[in-house]
Chain A
Amino acid sequence: MISSNLIIGVCTAYVVLLFGVAFLADRRARRGRLDWLQSPLVYTLSISVYCTGWTFYGAVGSAARSGLEFVAIYTGPVIVFIGWWWFLRKLVRIGRLQRITSIADLVSSRYGKSNTLAVLVTVLAVVASTPYIALQLQSLTLSFTVFAPAREGIPPDGAGFWIAAGLALFTILFGTRNVDANERHHGVVTAIALEAVIKLVALVAVGLFVVFGLGGGPGEVFADMPPALTAPEGFGARWLTITFLSGAAVVCLPRMFQVTVVENVDERHLATAAWAFPLYLLLICLFVLPIAVTGLRLLPPGANPDMFVLTLPLMAGQDVLALVALIGGFSSATSMVIVATIALSTMVSNHIIMPIWLRLTLRETKTSGDVRSMLLISRRASIIVLLLLGYLYFRLSGSSTALASIGLIAFAGVAQILPSLVAGVFWRGATRRAALAATACGFAIWVYTLLLPSFEAGLGAPGLLANGPWGIAALRPHALFGLEGVDPLSHALFWSMSVNVAVLVGVSLVTLPSPLERLQAALFVDVFRMQTAAPGAYIRRYATSEDLFTLAQRILGTEPAHRLFTELARDQGLSSGLPRPDDALIERLERELAGAVGAASAHAMVGQIASGETISMGALISIADETAQIVEYSHRLEEKSRELEETAAELRLANMRLQELGAQRDAFLAQVSHELRTPMTSIRSFSDILRENRDLPPEQARRFLGIISDESQRLTRLLDEILDLGFLESRRVAWELEQVDLEDVLDRALSATEALTARSGLRITRSARQRDAQVMAQRDRLAQVFINLISNAVKYAGPDAALTLTIRAERGGITVDVADDGPGVPDSDREQIFEKFARARGLYDSRGAGLGLPISREIMRNFGGDLTLRASRRGAIFRVYLPRPGTEAAQRAAAAPGSGSTAGAATGAMPPRAAAADDSAPGLG
C-alpha cells in the first residue's frame, strides 16, 4: 500500500520538475536560444493537451460502458488534423498576422473588432469550460481517493482545493509572465510537452502491463470481450455526433486554440502535427479497450471503470506502475487546466475586464505601463477566479456524473463558436450581427438542452426533463418540439447547430456589414492572398506620434514601446525621433497592441486618440482577392463594354446627324455658291468686255454698266439676307419686344412699297382699320415681313393683280391675311417655299435669292407668332399671326434667354431691312 505522504511527495516532486522545466525553458527563450523549444515535436506534443484527465481515465470508463464509442473522441481531431489541416493553417496565418490572442479575439476581430461578440464568446467559453475544469479536479481527486480511500486526513475535497490552488500558482507564474500574444509561453508549452510525454508513457506502460502481464497477450484479452462493447449500434447518430463534436472541439476549445494557433511559432509545424498528432492519439487509445476489457473481467463488479487505469496495477500489486499511472493522469489533468486557464484568463481580461477598466479610467491621468500592469493583474485574478469557479462547480455538482458526459457537454458548448468561426474565415458575407445572433441562439439552446439538465438534481425542478417547463411537452429540454427517441447529446447538437447555422446564414443575408467588417472579412478570408504580413493601410485615421507613443507605453511598458517606435522610425527611414503617424503606422501599432489586449480593445484604444476613421471602398477593392478582383474586373469590363457600345451607338447617331447636317450644309453652301457666282459671272464677264472693247458704242457700254451695277446690288442684298437669316436662326439673343399697333406697321410697309406697287399696277385693298390692333413685336422687323410679302405679290401675282390685306382678331392673337389673285402656289410646294433658296431649286422663278420667306418666317417665330401659306384654290394667301400682349406665347417670346440691354444692342446692330426697301429693290422673295 502506498502512503499518502509518498503520493503527495511524488506529486510535489513532479510539480517541482514541471516548474523547473518551465523555468529553464523560459530562461532559455529569453536568452534567445530557442532551437528545440521551437521544434515541431514540442508543438505537436503541446497540442496533445487535447488528451485530458478525462481521456486518460474516462476513455477507459467510456469503453467499459459503451464500447468503441470513445474512439469517436479521437476520430474528430484526426479528421481535422489530416483532412482539415489547411483550415488550421489559415487560422494560424490569421492568428500571426492579426496578432490574435484567443478564439474570442479571432471571432471578434473578424467581425469588425466587435467587443460584444468577444464578450459573448468569452462567456460561452467560460461557461462551457468551467465544468470541464471541474472535471479535471474531479478526476484528480478521484485518482487520489483510489490510493487513499477517504482516510489519513486528506479529505477528497481538500485535495481538490489544494490542487486548484497549486495549478493557479503555476499558471500565474508561467502563464502571465508577459501579456503579448507574440511572446509565446515557452515555459508553459515545454512543460505541457513534457506532460504529454509522461501521460503517453504512463498509459502505454499500463496498457502493456495489462495486456501482457495480466491478460496474457492481445488474443487472450479480446477473447472474452463482452459482445456489447463492439455492438454495431454503437456507431449510430451518437457516434457521428461525438465525432463532429470532438472535431469542433479540437478547433474551438480555448485551450486547443491557444496551443494550436496562439502558441504556434511556425506555420510549417502544422505539417508535422498533421501526422504526429493523430499518431499520438492512436497510441493513447491503443490500450484503452484492452484495459477496459481486462478491468471488467478482473475487477469486482461495481468498481468504477473510470479508474481502471489505476486500480488494475494496484490490484496486481504494481505500486510503482500505479504511481506512474497516477502521474500520467495528473499530467493530463494539470496540463489541461493550465492551458485552459491561460486561454480563458486572456479572454476574460482582454474582453471583459479591460473594456470596463478602459471605460472607467478614460479620463484619468495616463501613466506608462498602467494598462500593462492592469492587464497582468486582471489575468492573474481571472486565473484564480476561473479555478475557483471550477472548484465550486466540482463541489456543487457532486461526483455522480460520469466524466465523459461532462466533457461532451463542454464540447457541445464550444462547438457553438464553430459556425461563426468557419464562416468568418471562408465567407466574406458573414456579418457581425449574424455571428452574434447565431452564437447567442446556439449558446441558449445548448444551455437549455444540455447544461441545465446536467444540474437537474441540484435545480430542484425534477419535472423539467419529464414534462417540460410549465408542463409544455414541446419544450422538454431533451425532446424539443417533439424530437424524441434521440440521445440528449445528438438532440442538443441537432437543434443548436441547425438554429446556429440557419441564423448565421439568414441574418448575414439580410444585414449589411460595416466597412470595418468588410475590411476584416477580406483580410481574414483572403489571408493567403495577401502579399505581405502588413498589407498596408486601409483605414484612414489621424493621430499624433506623441499620443501613439504614450498609448504604446501604457500598454506595452516604456522599454518595449521605445523599442517598437525606434523600429518603426527606422522602417520609415528616420534616424531619430518619433515615426510619422501615417495610416500604416497606426495600423501596425494597433496590431501590436491587439497582441496584448485583443483586437477589439486595441481598436477602441487607438480610436480614442485617433480621429476621422474612414475605410475607403477603394481600399476594400484593393484587397479583394483574386477572384473578387477578376469578378470586379469583368464586371467593370462588362460595364465598360456596355458603355462603349452605348457610346458607339451615340457616336453613330451623332455621326448620322452630322452627316445629315453636313449634307444640309453642303446643299446650303452649293446654293450660296450658286447665288453668289451667278451675279459675279455677269459682273466679271461684262466688265471684261468693257475693259477689252474700248470702242463699244456708248449706248451699249452704258447698258453693260447698268447690268454690272444691278448685279452688284443683287450680290450685296444676297449677302445681307444670308447674314440676316443666320442671325435670326441662331436665336442667340432674345428680342426686346414692344407693344406695336399693327395698323401703323401696315401703313409703313405700304408706303415703303408704294413706288414698287404703283409701277407694277398692283391694286391693294385693305380691311377696315381695327382700333385695338396692339401686338408685341419689333416695328421695323414686322414691317420687313409685310414689305417682303407685298414685294412677292408684285413679282409672282403677275401684272395688274389685286392684293387684299385683312386684319382679323383671333382667340389669343391677331392675324393678317395677305392674299393675291395670281397663279398661287401648288399644294405640294406650300411648305417648301419657306425653305432656303427654294427658288433656286426650281420652285420659283424670280430675281431674289430665295431667302425672303424663310427670313420672314423666322422673324414671326421670334415674335412668338408665325407665317404660313394657306390652302386656297386661287392665288396665294399668306397668313401672318401674332399673339396679343399678355398671352402665353407673347410672354414666352419675351422670356427667351438673354433678354435685356444686350438684346437691344444686338438687334440694334442689324440694319432695319424695311428702310432698305426702296423702289429699286425688287423685293426679298
Chain B
Amino acid sequence: MTRRVLIIEDEPNIIESLAWLLGREGFDVTSEQDGGAALDRIARETPDLVILDVMLPHCDGFEILRAIRAGKDTARTPVIMLTARGQARDRETAEKLGVDLFITKPFLNSHVVESARRLAARAEP
C-alpha cells in the first residue's frame, strides 16, 4: 500500500525538493500552499503523514495542527512540522499541540526522509 504524504508549505522550491525526496522513497506526494485548502484536503484524503510549515499565508501552521488533532479521523495522523523561525517557543507550542516531529529549516534531507518513513510506518494499522 502506497503511503500518502501531504506537504503544506508556501515555498514552491521547498515543496519541490521534498516532493522529489519523498517521491523517490515511494510516497504518494501531494502539496498545498494555502492553509485553508490544506484543511479540506486533510479531511477528505486523510493522508498517512503531514509535513507542515509553521508560517503560512493567511493561516498559522499551529491552527492546522490543532485542526488535525481535533479531527476524528486525523487525530492520530503523524505530523512533521517545519519552521524557519527558529524560536524555542514554537517548538514548545507544537509539542503541546501533539506534533510528532519538529524540524528547523534548513533540514538534512536524510533526516526528513527517514523520519517520514518511520512515522508513516507507525500510522499503518
Chain A residues within 8 Å of B, Cβ to Cβ:
666, 670, 673-678, 680-686, 688-689, 692, 707, 710-711, 840, 842, 845
Contacts and interface: CB of A to CB of B under 8 A. Distances in A.
Contacts of B106: 677, 680-681, 683-685
B55 A681 contact: no
Interface size on B, as a range, is 20 to 34
A666 B104 CA distance: 17
B84 interface: yes
B2 interface: no
A689 B11 contact: no
A685 B11 contact: no
A678 B84 contact: yes
7 contacts: A673-B84, A673-B87, A674-B84, A681-B106, A683-B106, A707-B13, A840-B55
Contacts of B20: 689
B85 interface: yes
Contacts of A710: 13
Given A681-B14, A707-B13, A688 B57 contact: no
A684 B107 CA distance: 8
Contacts of A711: 13
B21 A681 contact: no
Given A678-B11, A678-B84, A845-B57, A686 B17 contact: yes
A710 B12 CA distance: 12
B16 interface: yes
A514 to B, nearest CB: 69
Given A680-B105, A680-B106, A842-B56, A685 B14 contact: yes
Nearest to B60: A842
Contacts of A682: 11, 13-14, 17
Contacts of A689: 17, 20-21, 109
B44 interface: no
The 8 A-B pairs with the shortest beta carbon distances in the complex, nearest first, are A677-B84, A685-B17, A682-B13, A681-B106, A681-B105, A684-B106, A674-B84, A677-B105
Indicate the member of A681, A684, A707, A840 with the most B CB atoms within 10 Å.
A681
B58 interface: yes
B71 interface: no
Contact of A678 (B14, B16, B56, B87): B14
B18 to A, nearest CB: 8
A838 to B, nearest CB: 12
Nearest to B13: A682
Contacts of B86: 670, 673, 677
A238 to B, nearest CB: 96
Contact of A670 (B11, B85, B107): B85
A912 B55 CA distance: 32
A681 B109 contact: no
Q: Tell me if A's interface is mostly helix, strand, loop or mixed.
A: helix
B110 to A, nearest CB: 8
Contact of A685 (B58, B104, B107): B107
Given A677-B104, A689-B17, A689-B20, 15 more contacts: A666-B87, A673-B84, A673-B86, A674-B84, A676-B84, A678-B11, A678-B14, A680-B105, A683-B106, A684-B106, A685-B14, A685-B107, A685-B109, A707-B16, A710-B13
A674 B85 contact: yes
Contacts of B55: 674, 840
Contacts of B59: 842
Nearest to A674: B84
Contacts of A678: 11, 14, 84, 105
Contacts of B109: 685, 688-689, 692
A842 B14 contact: no
Interface in B37-61: 55-59
B65 to A, nearest CB: 17
Nearest to B10: A845
Nearest to A703: B16
Contacts of A685: 14, 17-18, 21, 106-107, 109
A328 to B, nearest CB: 108
A826 to B, nearest CB: 12
Nearest to A680: B106
A670 B88 CA distance: 11
A632 to B, nearest CB: 53
Interface string B86-105: 11000000000000000011
Given A678-B105, A681-B84, A683-B106, A842 B17 contact: no
A690 to B, nearest CB: 11
B51 to A, nearest CB: 12
B5 to A, nearest CB: 16
A682 B20 CA distance: 12
Contacts of A677: 84-86, 104-106
Interface centre among B11, B104, B108 (most CB of A within 10 A): B11
A572 to B, nearest CB: 71
Contacts of A684: 106-107
A230 B21 CA distance: 133
Nearest to B34: A845
A685 B59 CA distance: 25
A189 to B, nearest CB: 94
A680 B59 CA distance: 23
Contacts of A683: 106
Nearest to A840: B55
